[in-house]
Amino acid sequence: MGKPLTCRLGRHRWVRRATEDGGTYKQCVRCGKDHDGLRPQPGSNLSL
Ligand SMILES: [Zn+2]
């Protein structure tokens, strides 16, 4: 339980968020995962 199916498939819904120091990052609106700035590698990050 937890992650929506779309997120478990690696299809996150990224939105831009602002940090306190003025930077930006991306976060999934569905599961809250922080984007690491790299494109997800299919099959390499599927641990639950
Ligand atoms: Zn997600």
- At residue 14 the predicted structure's pLDDT band, cuts being 50, 70 and 90, is very high
Residue 2, pLDDT score? 79
Inside any domain, residue 41: no
Q: Model pTM greater than 0.85?
A: no
Inside any domain, residue 45: no
Inside any domain, residue 16: yes
Structural domain including 4 reads 1-36
Inside any domain, residue 31: yes
What average pLDDT does the chain have?
A: 83
Inside any domain, residue 14: yes
Tokens of 5: 């199916």
State yes or no: pLDDT of 40 exceeds 60: no
State yes or no: pLDDT of 42 exceeds 90: no
Compute how many other C-beta atoms are within 10 angstroms of the C-beta atom of residue 28.
Answer: 18
Inside any domain, residue 4: yes
Q: How much is the average pLDDT of 21-45?
A: 80
CA distance 8 to 46: 7
Expressed in angstroms and rounded, the spacing between residue 15 Cα and the centre of ligand 1 is: 10
Expressed in angstroms and rounded, the spacing between residue 8 Cα and the centre of ligand 1 is: 7
Number of domains in the chain: 1
Expressed in angstroms and rounded, the spacing between residue 19 Cα and the centre of ligand 1 is: 19
